[in-house]
A and B are shown apart, each in its own frame.
Chain A
């Protein structure tokens, strides 16, 4: 079958791939805990000589060298916006996905297509008219304005994933429950929902990641600490001529950690959600 040489080459290949995936992120994380002098040093210092939390202190405004970038309020905004839009998108997506999976109705194909095509509109192109309308009705720089937009971004994909999952659950299960005396509502929550849980979980994760990471729309629809999110805040560091590398890396760590933690918690649902929601849907 496999010669030792082949096995070695395969392992080497996988190792190289892992290095390419990990090194950029690790490099950023490492910089976040390093001194600015060490980062700028010539010749380069590869192994950090001293670890420091100063970069985090300074971006949160806790050190003598005030940065003046209100990362804490960006973080709060990000959490509020991402959590609210995720929860609502999952609820609305579940209703919509269930409708597509269980019912036949007029314009079914057309409405599905409309939903999917609405997702393809590039964020920056959508931002132009939304910016014009939101500024007229006073939604610019509010959490609500951003949440509403993210909800619209997340609903189509959520419906697509959840629809695929409900379709795999045999229709007969809920019918049997109804014969046994459940109402339609009970049959849904007690029989069908538990079976579609991993689809709902993966839809939720994708919605959260989209909202947490989105930049193009948020950068135009938010102005101040009232609604600015972390990805938009990251650009604050490049507003000057010199880029504050260590500060930006610390900010990057703050953006990535919540997404990372959350994804690992539900990771087993993720791949299943993507592949089987898609293939069989």
Chain B
């Protein structure tokens, strides 16, 4: 009887629906996916699901130069995007913090990009960077700077720049809003005291504002790291990995291998690499968040 009540304790019952769904939709499929990554499964040949090939898929992808390009590009893309979003978001938060009138309206406007679907943001920037009808080329021509039509999404470098712009446009406001909330919650006394003691603005920022904001920075990073893979949607609609694979990220590559080439076994092996990458990003920021929270707790 005692073991019965322990097994069906209230928290167990309360969490049961959540875990049943997570198990059915995420854990079991992931186990299946792991198994598939060791087979030669192709969508067009159902029998190949039982063809065990051991580590061959992993060996192939790790010796494939296209995979490493996509992997490297993904890591570089995420690193640049997250840092840029943080720096810009911090700058914007500091600016808005010093404005006294109309702050509410400004904060409301800043929430605008958060509501956009990533696929919509991708479309929006595909349109803006379009060589014939795009806003940017139109502006360049109307201002008389140049008469050439710049093929933004056709050149490898500019296409990556356009995708990065879309990503930064979408996520910077999240950082700005969260950091602004942090700035507004900050006690003013330490700043006044530091100024009286002769600190300049940079010293105040570096030694008082920034440490206080740290947990907010990590919350923003942690929330953001949960869905880094949404860059897939943007790349999909903007360039679909082109030109000539120059904007291919890990996610677009694995979708191509899985659905277009129907090589599910190989695609699942790649998807495991992408899952580990995501878990690494999230784990890193949640660890940082926990540390920052602990230090904030000891301050308060």
Contact = CB atoms under 8 A, between A and B. Distances in A.
Interface of A: 2, 10-11, 13-14, 17-18, 20-25, 27-28, 31, 39-40, 43-44, 46, 92-93, 95-96, 98-100, 102-103, 105, 108, 111, 114-130, 132-133, 148-149, 151-152, 155-157, 159, 209, 212-216, 219-220, 231, 234-235, 238, 245, 248-249, 252, 255-256, 259-260, 263-264, 267, 270-271, 274-275, 278-279
B100 to A, nearest CB: 10
B124 A24 contact: yes
B interface majority secondary structure: helix
A220 B236 CA distance: 13
B241 interface: no
Contacts of A21: 109-110, 112-113, 169, 173
Interface string B256-300: 001100001001100110110011011100100100010010000
B32 A129 contact: yes
A40 B131 CA distance: 11
Contacts of B24: 148, 152
B264 A270 contact: no
Contact of B182 (A100, A121, A275): A275
B32 A215 contact: no
Interface in B1-57: 9-12, 14-15, 17-19, 21-22, 24-30, 32-33, 36
Contacts of B95: 10, 13-14, 17
Interface of B: 9-12, 14-15, 17-19, 21-22, 24-30, 32-33, 36, 92, 95-96, 98-99, 106-120, 123-125, 127-128, 130, 132-133, 135, 138, 141-142, 169, 173, 177-178, 181-182, 185, 215-216, 219, 222-223, 225-226, 228-230, 232-233, 236-237, 251, 254-255, 258-259, 264, 267-268, 271-272, 274-275, 278-279, 281-283, 286, 289, 293, 296
Contacts of B29: 126, 129-130, 133
Given A28-B127, A128-B264, A120 B282 contact: yes
Nearest to B28: A133
Contacts, number: 259
B119 A215 contact: yes
Nearest to B96: A14
17 contacts: A14-B106, A25-B124, A27-B128, A92-B17, A95-B15, A98-B14, A105-B12, A117-B279, A117-B283, A120-B279, A123-B232, A125-B229, A127-B255, A155-B21, A235-B237, A255-B117, A279-B296
B124 A116 contact: no
Given A40-B133, A128-B267, A129-B30, 19 more contacts: A20-B169, A27-B127, A27-B128, A31-B127, A44-B133, A119-B282, A122-B271, A125-B33, A126-B26, A130-B29, A151-B25, A155-B22, A215-B118, A245-B130, A248-B123, A252-B120, A263-B114, A271-B177, A275-B219
Contacts of B219: 274-275, 278-279
A128 B109 contact: no
Contacts of A43: 141-142
A105 B108 CA distance: 41
A111 B233 contact: no
A105 B110 CA distance: 41
B110 A124 contact: no
Contact of B223 (A27, A259, A274): A274
Contacts of A44: 133, 138, 141-142
Contacts of B142: 43-44, 46
Contacts of B36: 128-129, 132
Nearest to A150: B25
B26 A256 contact: no
